[in-house]
């Protein structure tokens, strides 16, 4: 096992700063997902950890050892890409055995390890199959096996599941997590898919525009996003962010959401974090599953769309272009054209400064 320290890491391509700044410590045996939208610098970061790109500034340390000038082959990393690198002229067995043969392991040991990993990844019956004839799903499973079999101290995976189908992706999420637990590797996993990050990672590093926005456990980044980007990016739908003005209300501080014709008195702890600042402009945030709706005869917020997705119902409410989405497990019969009263769970309210987008206090 090996720890990784990205120290003030930066990467530019000509005048373009693909990675503006990255400071991140990844512990021995930890599974960290680099999560963010396309172009935010995830692969660039990964390529530098692997040794395929040199940083423009900053350092990468493995167990405290500076990796500057250390070639990819000498870093002890396994790398799986979106586009599986498989030798199509070899069968499954030979592909799996390749890394062990390069390391000149005894034939009996190679055979034992090939069969063990094949069993683990359900490739056992396919060992004699020519790789050229395998499906995309199986090829990616083989690519993972081929890298994992040499038991690298650090395992880097860059969008390994983006080409495989949805059902297979769900299976592989579980298998990859299993694999990491079994081999206790330090794993860095690049994805733009929050479900992958949320289900597999011990810690998620959320990136945007070449900047690390937040790193924390999946629950932490979901419940306490550090800014409006993380709040909106995580969750499906993302956190509701309602522009509002803080206002004195009978000795307490309330968030006034004029657009929705409502006002919510803040819990004392949150009001204190907002420094009880009357007239401060904020975003009032809450997760779509942290509120209830009740139909009203008249008044309330107009419902304009109801999505029923199996057991889940997503109700879209709003006026003009301002919308709120509420996710419910039960179907309370709301339909487009009706009006509803919204009650937000007080403990779930998060505030963000309207100008900087940064969270005000943390729960
Ligand atoms: N070799 C390069 N030369 C110039 N620009 C590059 C190079 N590699 C990456 N970039 C740019 O750097 C930015 C970050 O790219 P990167 O591949 O790291 O993003 P990403 O978060 O992995 O997104 P994606 O999932 O789309 O690959 C992008 O704007 C990309 O076009």
Q: List the pLDDT tens digit at each of the 363 positions of the chain.
A: 699 999 999 999 999 999 999 999 999 999 999 999 999 999 999 999 999 999 999 999 999 999 999 998 889 898 887 776 788 889 999 999 999 998 999 999 999 999 999 998 889 999 999 998 888 888 888 999 998 898 888 999 999 888 888 888 888 898 888 888 888 889 999 999 999 999 999 999 999 999 999 999 999 999 999 999 999 999 999 999 999 999 988 888 999 988 888 889 998 888 888 877 778 899 999 999 999 999 887 788 999 999 998 889 999 999 777 789 999 987 778 999 999 999 999 999 999 999 999 999 864
**Residue 216 to residues 109, 203, 204, 213, 223: CA-CA distances in angstroms?**
39, 5, 6, 10, 10
Residue 200 within any structural domain of the chain: yes
Q: Are residues 208 and 257 in the same domain?
A: no
Contact of 290 with 344, CB cutoff 8 Å = yes
Q: Are residues 219 and 245 in the same domain?
A: no
- Ligand 1 pocket test, pick from 20, 41, 49, 206 with the greatest ligand atom count within 8 Å of Cβ, gives 41
How many angstroms does the Cα of residue 332 sit away from the middle of ligand 1?
45
Q: Are residues 216 and 270 in the same domain?
A: no
Q: For residue 303, give the CATH number of its domain.
A: 2.40.50.140
Answer with the one of 223, 250, 280 that is the final residue of a domain: 223
Atom of ligand 1 nearest to the CA of 46: 18
How many angstroms does the Cα of residue 194 sit away from the middle of ligand 1?
19
Q: Are residues 281 and 245 in the same domain?
A: yes
Binding pocket residue ranges, ligand 1, CB within 6 Å: 13, 16, 18, 36, 38-44, 192
| Helix (H) and strand (E) counts in the chain | 9, 21
Q: Are residues 188 and 289 in the same domain?
A: no
Residue 336 within any structural domain of the chain: yes
User: What is the model's pTM?
Assistant: 0.91
Q: Are residues 79 and 208 in the same domain?
A: yes
Residue 362's pLDDT is 60
Q: Are residues 219 and 247 in the same domain?
A: no
Q: In terms of residue numbers, what domain contains 108?
A: 4-223
b (16+ CB within 10 A) / e for 51-76:
bebebeebebbbeeeebeeeeeeebe
Residue 232 within any structural domain of the chain: no
**How much is the CA Rg of the chain, to the nearest whole Å?**
25
Residue 320's pLDDT is 73
* DSSP state letter for 227: B
Q: Are residues 67 and 199 in the same domain?
A: yes
Q: Are residues 247 and 315 in the same domain?
A: yes
Q: How many domains does the chain have?
A: 2
323 φ/ψ angles, rounded to the nearest 5 degrees: -130, 155
Q: For residue 76, give the CATH number of its domain.
A: 3.40.50.300
Answer with the one of 170, 198, 223 that is the final residue of a domain: 223
How many angstroms does the Cα of residue 43 sit away from the middle of ligand 1?
7
Contact of 288 with 315, CB cutoff 8 Å = no
ipTM score here? 0.96
Residue 64's pLDDT is 95
Q: How many CB atoms lie within 10 A of CB 282?
A: 23
Residue 269 within any structural domain of the chain: yes
Q: Are residues 214 and 102 in the same domain?
A: yes
């Amino acid at each position: 096992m090996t720890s990784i320290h990205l120290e003030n890491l930066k990467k530019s391509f000509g005048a373009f700063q693909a990675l503006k700044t990255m400071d991140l410590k990844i512990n021995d045996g930890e599974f960290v997902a680099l999560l963010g939208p396309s172009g935010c610098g995830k692969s660039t970061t990964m390529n530098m950890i692997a040794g395929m790109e040199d940083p423009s500034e900053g350092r990468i340390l493995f167990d405290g050892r500076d990796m500057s000038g250390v070639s990819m082959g000498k870093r002890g990393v396994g790398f799986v890409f979106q586009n599986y690198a498989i030798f199509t002229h070899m069968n499954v067995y030979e592909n799996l055995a390749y890394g062990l043969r390069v390391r000149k392991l005894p034939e009996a040991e190679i055979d034992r390890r090939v069969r063990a990993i094949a069993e683990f990844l359900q490739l056992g019956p396919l060992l004699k199959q020519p790789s050229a004839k395998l499906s995309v799903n199986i090829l990616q499973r083989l690519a993972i096996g081929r890298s994992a079999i040499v038991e690298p101290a650090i395992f880097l995976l860059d969008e390994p599941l983006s080409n495989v189908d949805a059902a297979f992706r769900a299976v592989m999420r579980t298998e990859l997590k299993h694999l990491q637990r079994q081999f206790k590797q330090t794993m860095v996993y690049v994805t733009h898919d929050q479900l992958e990050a949320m289900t597999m990672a011990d810690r998620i590093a959320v990136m945007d525009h070449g900047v690390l926005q937040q790193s924390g456990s999946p629950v932490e980044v979901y419940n306490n996003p550090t800014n409006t980007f993380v709040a909106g990016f995580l969750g499906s739908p993302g956190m509701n962010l309602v522009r509002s003005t803080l206002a004195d209300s009978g000795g307490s501080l309330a968030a006034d959401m004029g657009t929705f014709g409502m006002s919510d008195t803040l819990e004392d702890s949150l009001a204190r974090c907002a420094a009880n600042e009357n007239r401060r402009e904020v975003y009032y945030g809450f997760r779509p599953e942290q509120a209830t709706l009740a139909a009203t005869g008249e008044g309330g917020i107009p419902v304009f769309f109801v999505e029923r997705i199996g057991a889940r119902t997503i109700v879209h409410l709003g006026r003009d272009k301002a919308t709120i989405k509420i996710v419910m497990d039960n179907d309370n019969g709301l339909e487009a054209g009706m009006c509803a009263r919204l009650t937000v769970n007080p403990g779930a309210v998060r505030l963000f400064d309207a100008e900087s987008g940064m969270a005000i206090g943390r729960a």
